[in-house]
Amino acid sequence: MDNCSITLNIKQTADGFTDESELFTKGEFRLHKGSFFIDYDESEATGYEGSHVQMRIDDKMMTLTRTGTTFSSLIFENKTRHFCHYGTEFGDCMVGITTEELKPELSENGGKIHLKYTIDVNGGLMTENEITINVKM
């Protein structure tokens, strides 16, 4: 049941090149047992058509789980590195996710999340990422 509009502003830097994009989708936003949840279906625009994303956000952590055509489970926690499972159309791998900033500003009426993190493989920096997620009821 879609009850919100979701906008993702994404900035990704790899090998000195920066790419910025903005994605719009409909989804579900809810508060359950002290955590906020954002659910939406991926589209062709993201390259993960046929997959579903669920984000669980609380005061200290955000988990992002993608299911469907690929599976990923990413954990974002301020100033912390987590080893996470990341699935792509080419195969699965383990990546290091180091969160520099996780700033949720959510209420029962929606809000935004600002996230800044890096992804590394075998300790080597792959990408620097900055995402702002806006949820409007």
Domain holding 124: CATH number? Answer: 2.40.128.20
Do residues 76 and 58 make contact, with C-beta atoms less than 8 angstroms apart? no
DSSP element (H, E) containing 134? strand 124-136
Total domains present in the chain: 1
Q: Determine the structural domain holding residue 123 and report its residue range.
A: 4-136
Q: What is this structure's pTM? A: 0.94
pLDDT attached to residue 47: 73
pLDDT per residue as tens, the chain (137 positions): 799 999 999 999 999 999 999 999 999 999 999 999 999 998 877 777 889 999 999 989 999 999 998 899 999 999 999 999 998 878 899 999 999 999 999 999 999 999 999 999 988 999 999 999 999 99
